[in-house]
Amino acid sequence: MKRPKNLEVATVLKEKKLLKSVLWEVRPKDWSENHYKEWKSILTGVEIKEVKADNPRKNLHNKVKVIRLSDNTIFDSIGDCKKKEGIHGILMRELLKEGIKYKKVI
In order along its 106 residues, the chain shows pLDDT tens digits of: 788 888 888 898 888 888 888 888 888 889 888 888 888 888 888 877 777 666 666 666 668 899 999 999 999 888 899 999 999 989 999 999 999 899 998 7
* Nearest CA-CA partner of 1 in 27, 39, 49, 30: 39
Give the model's pLDDT for residue 1. Answer: 72
Q: Are strands 102-105 and 73-75 parallel, antiparallel or unpaired?
A: unpaired
* Backbone phi and psi for residue 66, each to the nearest 5 degrees, phi listed first: -125, 140
Helix, coil or strand: residue 32: coil
Asked if residue 1 lies in contact with residue 12, where contact means CB atoms within 8 angstroms, the answer is no
